[in-house]
Structure 1
Amino acid sequence: MGHADTLLAMGGAFVAAALLARVGRRIGLPTIPLFILAGILLGPNTPGYVLVHDPHELEMLSALGLVLLLFYLGLEFHLDDLRAGGRRLLAAGGVYLLLSVGAGLAFGFALGWGTSEALVLAGVIGISSSAIVTKILVDFGRLGSPETKPILGIIVIDDIFLALYLAALQPVLSGADSPAAGALQAAKAFGFLLVLAAVARWGTGIVGRIIATRDNELLVVSFLGAAVLVAGVAEEFGVADAIGAFMVGLVLGSTTSGERIRGLVHPLRDAFGAIFFFAFGLAVDPGDFPTVMVPVLVAVLLTITANLLSGVFTARLYGFGAEPAARIATTLVARGEFALILATMAAAAGLDGRLAPFIAGYVLVLAVLSPLASGRSSLVARIMPLGSREADSTPSGKG
């Protein structure tokens, strides 16, 4: 592939992402499913104009997008938020994970695609999308609503589970030769995570002094270099590169430069994150959708059911009525970036080829359904087995 072709592919991907982001804003949909759809339509697996013939052509940009997505999530993550929530928040998050991940694991084994595939599906179905959930809360003006704190708290617990889950999953997907080799690989991975966690707990002062600078250009080069370097080292230790980036974000977010880094990385995250979703769409063959249509619909129904049950439990725990319960359930049903990260890992590990079209279809359906249902939460509230309470009358924006 020549330099001109490379530039055309990169530039076309960015322009397509920008145009679709504008469309998404106008019609009230999150951009993630639109970015994936652009990749599908402009890729080699659909008729018409092909912008990128080989998905590997955008592999490095896609990897950078993944690193930046998780790095930003680490910047936003605060253990103080979890501690402030107390036992109620732990109970709400624990029940959410138990219902969603449990349903995903049972569904994965019921499909019969394989044990590794079932473990991947547990995460795909079990973990909500922080990006889409946050966008829904902002778009509908619900940041000040009473149910928003438990929603964000559940997302935080999701993120903690994700870090541990990916660290445990990586040795399984890498195909260790024996149980002893797998245990050693897992020990190396968790050891590396413990080192990063220790730095996050006790080393932020030193790291903050090292990275501190008034020059924005130097700060960008420093945090970007740190995120990418640690992501690469994490891969060497058997930890997903995304989790290495997440831990760097966790460390830097607690430094005196954390607020500036959040502002500087935001446009980079959006731009390269769009390429990550676009590149995923390139690898999806719509011709495979009919083979996974039934599993996708079953998984969507399972996810909705688990979220409705979790919404009712959380509402009872916090003393909310039917309307906040419906908002909790419909907002958290979104699936997005984490499912696609797992799809990328599964493809790299050579797992069942049906996983990619299944995950793409599943994410597309729920990423569109969640904001639509959340905007009509009053209709969903009618089926919630909860009475009207004081929290229902609290203003919550458009929803």
Structure 2
Amino acid sequence: MHSSAVFLIEFGAIILGLGLLGRFAGRFQFSPIPLYLLAGLAFGQGGLLPLNTSEEFVAIGAEIGVILLLLMLGLEYTASDLVSNLKTQYPAGLVDAALNALPGAAMALLLGWGPVAAVVLAGVTWISSSGVIAKVLGDLGRLGNRETPVILSILVLEDLSMAVYLPIITALLAGAGLAAGSVTLAIALGVAALVLLVAVRFGRHISRFVSSDDPEKLLLVVLGLTLLVAGLAQQLQVSAAVGAFLVGIALSGEVAEGAHNLLAPLRDLFAAVFFVFFGLHTDPQSIPPVLLPALALAVVTALTKIATGYWAAGRAGISVRGRWRAGGTLVARGEFSIVIAGLAVTAGIEPSLGPLATAYVLILVILGPLTARFTEPVARRLTGLFGKAAPTGGAPAEGAARNSGPQETAVGQDTVSRK
């Protein structure tokens, strides 16, 4: 009875604290993710007030949070959207991966962490935060800008790449050899291709089967199906998150929209718990030794993201000012960088990887909105100093926002869905 009371007090305090932190972040119009991470640091190993009784429940909640993040991500896209983006925007995706994954891999190797940690840190530095970026675009009134579809296409490709990247990471972290890892990856790609094919041809039938006019029944069916598929995927060593992502892709139309509205509060709750859980397993005293490498990595990958956006927007015929805006907007890292690092922390491959990832995300989730706002004016001023006036442009284009794709995948934000 006593332990039950302590659990309720601890977990209730966590949820209340997250709510207050979220309100504080909303008042000052910035992402709550860094505050959630700091809260985890404060109540975790070596923190101000370590939690004991509720830690196991928080761990389960964190796993559900990752599953719901990927499910909601899948609900944003139809299979045809993903295929179309792959066909038209894959060069930008390749440039994005090369410029932003390689610095993370190089840093891990320079620190002597080995090839597995290098693959993990490559993912941490590669994936931008869709949630933070979508919020910034809305706050700055840029949803209708000509460069915005380019930004969102890159984010879509990054999200899609998670379906391939996560099984690779899962196999590597499990210590699978080359043969076993190849089988795991082949299974994951085969399942993903099968789900896309089924979603394109039979998506309406699947959605009709899941559909219900009763919100309670729809919530139970979609959530139950997602957890079941995620569990089966994990049994096959494919990754529970990938299973959830594929369930989201398979649903479309009114079912996807209804499921999104019902599941958004649950996602926000459990995703916030996930960030806290990650912080709980990071000793604050372990951050100072990796702060300089994290800062160096943040600076380098901020510049490579700016270069990625500039090149991709230029390829799409956007003006110079729009190119700078596109690059600056892509800088923020957030939820999926922590998801990737969390897998490595759970596997225990490198003790310093978690602290470095925490510091790295904290830096860029704060820096990202600033680069989105000021990269173009600073570039214009510097260009003017050298006597080259940048051409004007990047004005909102009719229909750009309407065709710009999913606007949100993160904690606490409204979503504009392509479905």
The amino acid across from 1:210 in the alignment is F
Q: Are the counterparts in 1 of residues 132 and 332 from structure 2 also a CA contact under 8 Å? A: yes
**How do 1:1-399 residues align onto structure 2 when only pairs under 5 Å count?**
2-47=3-48, 49-51=49-51, 55-81=55-81, 89-176=89-176, 178-252=177-251, 254-382=252-380, 383=382, 388-394=390-396
- 1:9-60 CA-to-partner distances (Å, cap 9, x unmatched) read 222221111111111122222111111111112334223x445566434011
C-alpha distance 372-306 of structure 1, shift in aligned 2 (>3 A): same
Amino acid aligned to 1:391: G
Residue deviations 1:266-315 (CA, integer Å, cap 9, x gap)? 11111211111111111111100122112101210221121121132123
Q: 1:82 to 1:324 in 2, by over 3 A?
A: farther
In 1, are the aligned partners of 2:184 and 2:238 still within 8 Å (CA)?
no
One-letter code of the match for 1:389?
Answer: P
Q: 1:85 to 1:388 in 2, by over 3 A?
A: farther
Most deviating of 323-332 and 277-286 = 323-332
Contact 2:324 2:379 in 1 (8 A): yes
Unaligned runs of 5+ in 2: 401-419
Counterpart of 2:275, as a letter, is F
Paired residue type of 1:369: L
TM-score (norm 2): 0.87
Deviations 1:98-122 (A, max 9, x none): 2112232233322221110000011
From the superposition, tell whether residues 277 and 381 of structure 1 become closer, same or farther in structure 2 (CA, over 3 Å). Answer: same
The 3 A distance-change label for structure 1 pair 88 and 246 is closer
Distance in 1 of aligned mates of 2:86 and 2:223: 34
Q: CA deviation at 1:390?
A: 4.3
RMSD in angstroms over aligned alpha carbons?
A: 2.4
Given that 1:93 and 1:157 are in contact with CA atoms closer than 8 Å, whether structure 2 keeps it comes out as yes
State the distance in 1 between where 2:320 and 2:14 align.
43
Aligned partners of 2:10 and 2:54 also within 8 Å: no
User: 3-state SS of the aligned residue for 1:159?
Assistant: helix
Shift of the 86–57 alpha-carbon distance from structure 1 to 2, 3 Å rule, reads closer
Q: CA deviation at 1:69?
A: 0.7
Summarize the Cα distance change of 1:375–1:124 in structure 2 as closer, same or farther, 3 Å threshold: same
Distance 1:334 1:325 in 2: 16
Q: How far did residue 367 of structure 1 move?
A: 0.4
Q: Secondary structure at the match of 1:389?
A: coil
Could you tell me how far apart the structure 1 residues matched to 2:287 and 2:392 are? 45
Pick closer, same or farther for the CA change 1:360–1:55 going to 2, 3 Å: farther
**Structure 1, unpaired ranges of 5+:** none
2: CA distance, partners of 1:294 / 1:218: 51
Give TM-score, length-normalised by structure 1.
0.91
Q: Percent identity?
A: 36
Corresponding residue pairs, total: 393
Confirm or deny: 8 A CA contact 1:192 1:234 kept in the other structure.
no
Distance 1:255 1:16, change over 3 A: same
Give 1:86 deviation, angstroms.
Answer: 8.2
Post-superposition CA distance 1:360-394 (Å, at most 9, x none): 10011100110122232343333579853342455
Q: Return closer, same or farther for 1:210/1:85 CA change in 2, 3 Å cut-off.
A: closer
DSSP-derived class of the 1:2 partner = helix
